[in-house]
Amino acid sequence: MDVGQPLSQGIVQSNLGIPINCDKLDEVSCFAGFSVREVVNKLNEIPPCESFKSVAGFGNTFWFTNEYHGGYISEGTASLEDTFKKMKAFSPVSERRISIVTGESGLLSCLPELSKLSNLVIILDQNPILLLFLISIFNELPKIERCGEEEYEDLIKDAFLAVKKKVEDIIFSEEDILYLAKEYRDAFKEWHCFSSKERFEETKKVLKKIHIHPVCTNYYDEAAMKTLAEIISDEGLSIAFFNVTNVLEYYYQFFEWKRYPCPIKGVDNTLYLKELPLTEDTLCAYSSLMYRDDKQTATCTGDIFFEEAYQLHKLNIYYDVCGETLSEQKTDKELIVEACLRLAQTDPREDGNILTKLRNLLAHSSQEALFQLSQNYREVSKKIDKNKAYKSSLENEQKKFTFLSVLQRALDEAGLTVNRPDSSYEGKRKKR
C-alpha cells in the first residue's frame, strides 16, 4: 500500500502560525492511506478567522470539554464517556479516514480509541488561544516520562505559559487552569491519559503514529467549510469521526458570519456543515448544553446527522423563545403563537436578536404551526403596535415593519394568506 511521504523532521506551522512538532511522523503508520503532508499543507492555506492580537483577554475559552458527568452533564444522561465507548466499538470501512473535532473534545481521554479510526485528527475551533494551548500539550506530552500529579500539572502550566507569551492580559490565572485540569482528569477517571501508568503509556504510544493538527476557523464560515470539504474530497478521504460539540447552539453566528438571504425557508445553521463529506457510517457527536435542562451529548451516524441537528435546533429555538420544550403535549402548533407574541412584546433595545430568533422560529415550524399563526396574525400585529420600543422614531417604526415583513414572508412561502390590519406600518406609510 502506498502510504505517501511522511512529514519531514522539525516544525510545521498551522494556518495561524502555531508551531507543531512533526518528528513523530518520521514513520507514517500503514493505517494512513494518504499523504499527511499534502493534507496538512492544504489545511494551512485556510485563512484563520482570528489572530492572537484580536482576541487578547479572550473570555470565552473552554480549555477542556465540560461534557462529562459532574460538568454540564447530569448523572444518567449521555455524555462523552458514552461516545468513547461507541468509538471503541466502531470499525471504519475505509482506511483513508480523518477525524474532525471541535476544541478539546476530550482528546486527552480518548486518543487510543480515536487512533483506531484515523491517524489525522483536525482540531477545528475559532479560538486561537485554545488551539495553541492544546497543541502545546500534545507537543510536550510524548516527552514526559512519568505519570504523576506533578508531571500533569507541569504539562498544563507549560501549555498555559505558551499562551501567556502570545496573549497579553489574559483573564485566566494559572490556578484557574490547574483547577479545571484536575476536575477534568477526575471526571473522566480511567479514560484520562494520566489516570494510570497503562493509560499514560498507551496514549504516548498512540501519539507517535497520529498527527493532531489545528485549523483556526468557524463552522459558520461558508468559504472555510467549502475549502475544508474540497481538501478532504480532493484527497479521496472520508470522515471517520466528527464531534461538533454544542457549536450548533450558537446559531446567532450563522447570521453574523454571513447575512442569510431573504427567504425564510432554508434557514438552517448546518448549511455550511453540509459541505463536509460525511458518510453513512461517520460517527457523529453533538451536544445540547445551553437551552434545556436535559443537557447531553448524543451520537448518531452521518446519514441522519443533519436531520438530528435540525430537530435539536428546533427544540432549542422554541425553548429559547418560550422557555418550554417541544413534546407530544407541547407541539409547535400549540406554541407558535405564544412564541411570536413573546417576541412582539420584547424590547429590541434589550434583545438585538429578535429578528434572528423570529426567522429561526418560522423556518423550523411545521405547516400546521404556520397555519395556526396565520389565524392569529392580527393578534401578533396588535402586540407589535403596543410595543413602545417601536414608537420612538422612524427607525424603530421600520424595525416594526421588518418584524411583520418577516412574518408575512414566511406565511407567503407556506402558501398562507392573512388579513393585514391598517394599523401596520405599511398602511401608515402609504398615507404619508
Q: Are residues 18 and 138 in the same domain?
A: yes
308 and 347 in a single domain? The answer is: no
State whether 336 and 290 are in the same domain.
no
Domain membership of residue 366 as a residue range: 326-431
Collapsing DSSP to helix, strand or coil, 156 comes out as helix
pLDDT of residue 423 exceeding 60, the answer is: no
Q: Which amino acid is at 7?
A: L
Lowest mean pLDDT of 295-299, 344-348, 367-371, 428-432, name the range: 428-432
- The predicted-structure confidence for 38-97, as pLDDT tens digits, reads as follows 888 889 888 887 767 666 555 678 999 989 888 888 887 889 999 999 998 887 656 778
Strand pairing report for 283-288 and 238-243: parallel
Domain check: are 37 and 151 in the same one? yes
Last residue of a domain, one of 317, 339, 362: 317
Helices (H), 141-268: 149-166, 174-188, 197-207, 222-234, 252-257
Place of cell 493534507: 39
Amino acid 372: pLDDT: 95
Whether 85 and 149 share a structural domain: yes
Which among 62, 64, 71, 106 is positioned nearest to 85, based on CA atoms? 106
Task: Give the Cα separation of 335 and 321 in Å (integer).
Answer: 10
Residue 200 and residue 121 in one domain = yes
pLDDT in tens, 270-287: 999 999 999 998 999 999
Instruction: Tell me if 6 is assigned to some domain.
Output: no
Q: Is residue 260 part of a domain?
A: yes
**pLDDT above 70 as % of the chain:** 88
Q: Are residues 304 and 159 in the same domain?
A: yes
Q: Report the distance separating Cα 227 and Cα 105, nearest Å.
A: 23
Q: Is the same domain home to 113 and 96?
A: yes
Q: Which residues lie below 8 Å from residue 198, measured CB to CB, with a gap of 6+?
A: none
pTM recorded for the entire structure? 0.89
- Note the pLDDT tens digit of each residue in 368-387: 999 999 999 999 999 998 98
- Whether 243 maps to a domain, the answer reads yes
Domain count, the chain: 2
- Residue 412 confidence (pLDDT) above 80: yes
Burial of 310 (0-12, 13-18, 19+ CB in 10 A): middle
Residue 3 lies in a domain: no
Rounded CA Rg of the chain: 24
Domain boundary among 289, 317, 345: 317
376 and 270 co-located in one domain: no
Residue at 2 is within a domain: no
User: Domain ends where: 274, 299, 317?
Assistant: 317
Specify if 1 maps to a domain.
Answer: no
- Residues 100, 228, single domain; the answer is yes
DSSP 8-state secondary structure symbol assigned to residue 290? S
pLDDT digits (tens, 9 = 90+) for 303-336: 999 999 999 999 999 999 998 888 888 999 999 9
Give me the pLDDT at residue 1, please.
25
Please check whether residues 415 and 338 belong to one and the same domain. yes
Residue 90 lies in a domain: yes
- Cα separations in angstroms, 29 against 24, 96, 339: 11, 12, 54
Domain identity same for 310 and 330:
no
CA distance 288 to 299: 11
Answer whether residue 354 is part of any domain: yes
